């Protein structure tokens, strides 16, 4: 029995079956490469779901977390710690919001949960009953009960109903439907610039503008979920910076600490006054070690110009994927932005292609039955784009021949 098979048997007896595991156990990584328990190397074009944007075992992040862990790991949020304050100051600078304030937590779902509570407090300060939210079909905001209801996927709601009736979903590409859905009882509109888990669908600028105008009309807050699109992924520090609109609140996580658990909910403008002492909290949120790691991430992104480089590499990746789409009987097109893209298929064979790609030593994922998501580290070069294209081409050919 292989090491991977042994782990599969142990997991089956000890861990709830909530994840669709792939048949590989990774034991180490470096840069854009992963190594499994049998010593085989894989090119990672998923980055742990857009998390390890600096690649695996980045030396600057490793040093920052190690140095901090040798000094102080945890004291809880009843006390001040310098790394948390420094990180808040740095995030304000990247957002361009000098008056912003934030709440630190441990994940994207928690950041969205914090934003739900903040927007409700903001709405109720205007009048009781102003607690409803408009969100987009196909959006994904996490699996806690509040963020789950925001998520525009009825299939994900069904096992856990009733979840409440305070969210109304509208199509992600219909500005008129969005404007009509927002009324005086709306405290917030929730958007993603690119719907990552929804299949890597960019939301049209017209919808984003309609959301901003509707919020301004009724005194609601525009919340942008940047959990998957933040920190250079789309070729700007944040996805909203590639659009005509400015949100009131952003939710951050994933790539912020390159694999360590951290999230942040950032508000600016009138929204910063919504929370008071005791309105929200987190035992571990914004701890010294994860904040030190996040500061190293921000330093590296800036020092190595990786944000601008992601925009350049995104164009190069689009070229490779368009060539694959045109050269394969399965390929239907390419969508996305920067280094978050999807190869669309004519048939619902994404799972088969993803499995075959893994056999070829390439890590991608079936984000939809007919779409393959690619979210490589921002530190890749064009040579690795070529390597990805060669491996994915072989996977497409193999599945196409067998189908």
Task: State pLDDT tens for residues 7-35.
Answer: 999 999 999 999 999 999 999 999 999 99
Cα–Cα separations (whole angstroms), residue 242 to 234, 237, 246, 311, 332 = 8, 9, 10, 11, 26
Q: Write out pLDDT tens, residues 164-190.
A: 999 999 999 999 999 999 999 999 999
pLDDT band for position 277 (50/70/90)? very high
And the tokens for 299?
Answer: 């330093």
Alpha helices in 223-340 (DSSP H): 288-303, 306-327
Strands 371-374, 340-345: pairing is: antiparallel
Distance CA 400, CA 214 (A): 46
And the tokens for 149?
Answer: 């209801």
150-160 average pLDDT score: 95
Please tell me the pTM assigned to this model: 0.96
And the tokens for 14?
Answer: 């000890």
For the chain, give percent helix, strand, coil, nearest 5: 45, 20, 35
Residue 87 has pLDDT above 90, yes or no: yes
Distance CA 259, CA 247 (A): 26
Residue 403 has pLDDT above 80, yes or no: no
SS3 string, 98-115, reads CCCEEEEECCHHHHHHHH
Distance CA 74, CA 378 (A): 30
What is the architecture, at CATH level 2, of domain 3-58+305-402?
Alpha-Beta Complex (3.90)
118-143 average pLDDT score: 97
CATH 3.40.640.10 fits 72-303, yes or no: yes
Could you state, in order of their start, the residue ranges of all structural domains in the chain?
3-58+305-402, 72-303
Mean pLDDT, the chain, rounded, equals 97
Please say whether the beta carbons of 143 and 107 come within 8 A: no
Give the CA-trace dihedral at 295, 296, 300, 302, to 10 degrees: 20
Provide the CA 22 distance to its chain's centre, in angstroms.
20
SS3 string, 7-64, reads HHHHHHHHCCCCCCCCCCCEEEEEECEEEECCCCEEEECCHHHHCCCCCECCHHHHHH
């Amino acid at each position: 029995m292989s090491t991977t098979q042994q782990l599969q048997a142990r997991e089956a007896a000890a861990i709830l079956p909530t994840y669709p595991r792939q048949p590989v156990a990774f034991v180490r990584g470096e840069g854009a490469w992963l190594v499994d328990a049998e010593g085989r190397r894989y090119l990672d074009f998923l980055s742990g779901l857009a998390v390890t944007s600096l690649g695996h075992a980045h030396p600057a992040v490793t040093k920052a977390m190690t140095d901090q862990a040798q000094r102080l790991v945890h004291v809880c949020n009843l006390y001040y710690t310098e790394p948390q304050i420094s990180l808040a100051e740095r995030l304000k600078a990247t957002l361009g919001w000098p008056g912003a304030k934030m709440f630190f937590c441990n994940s994207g779902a928690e950041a969205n949960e914090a934003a739900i509570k903040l927007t409700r407090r903001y709405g109720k300060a205007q009048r009781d009953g102003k607690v409803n939210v408009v969100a987009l079909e196909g959006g994904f905001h996490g699996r806690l009960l509040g963020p789950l209801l925001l998520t525009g996927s009825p299939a994900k709601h069904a096992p856990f109903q009733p979840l409440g009736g305070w969210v109304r979903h509208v199509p992600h590409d219909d500005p008129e439907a969005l404007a009509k859905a927002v009324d005086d009882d709306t405290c917030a509109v929730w958007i993603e610039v690119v719907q990552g888990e929804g299949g890597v669908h960019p939301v049209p600028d017209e919808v984003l503008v309609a959301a901003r105008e509707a919020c301004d009309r009724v005194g609601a807050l525009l919340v942008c979920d940047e959990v998957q699109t933040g920190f250079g992924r789309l070729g700007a520090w944040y996805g909203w910076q590639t659009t005509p609109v400015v949100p009131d609140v952003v939710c951050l996580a994933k790539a912020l600490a390159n694999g360590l658990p951290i999230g942040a909910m950032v508000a600016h403008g009138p929204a910063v006054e919504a929370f008071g002492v005791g309105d929200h909290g987190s035992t571990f949120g914004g701890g010294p070690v994860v904040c030190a790691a996040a500061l190293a991430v921000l330093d590296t992104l800036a020092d190595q110009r990786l944000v601008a480089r992601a925009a350049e590499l995104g164009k190069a990746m689009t070229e490779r994927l368009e060539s694959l789409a045109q050269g394969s009987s399965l390929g239907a097109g390419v969508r996305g932005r920067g280094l978050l893209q999807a190869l669309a298929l004519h048939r619902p064979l994404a799972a088969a292609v993803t499995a075959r790609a893994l056999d070829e030593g390439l890590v991608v994922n079936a984000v939809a039955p007919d779409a393959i998501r690619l979210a490589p580290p921002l530190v890749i070069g064009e040579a690795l784009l070529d390597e990805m294209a060669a491996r994915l081409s072989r996977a497409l050919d193999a599945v196409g021949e067998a189908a």
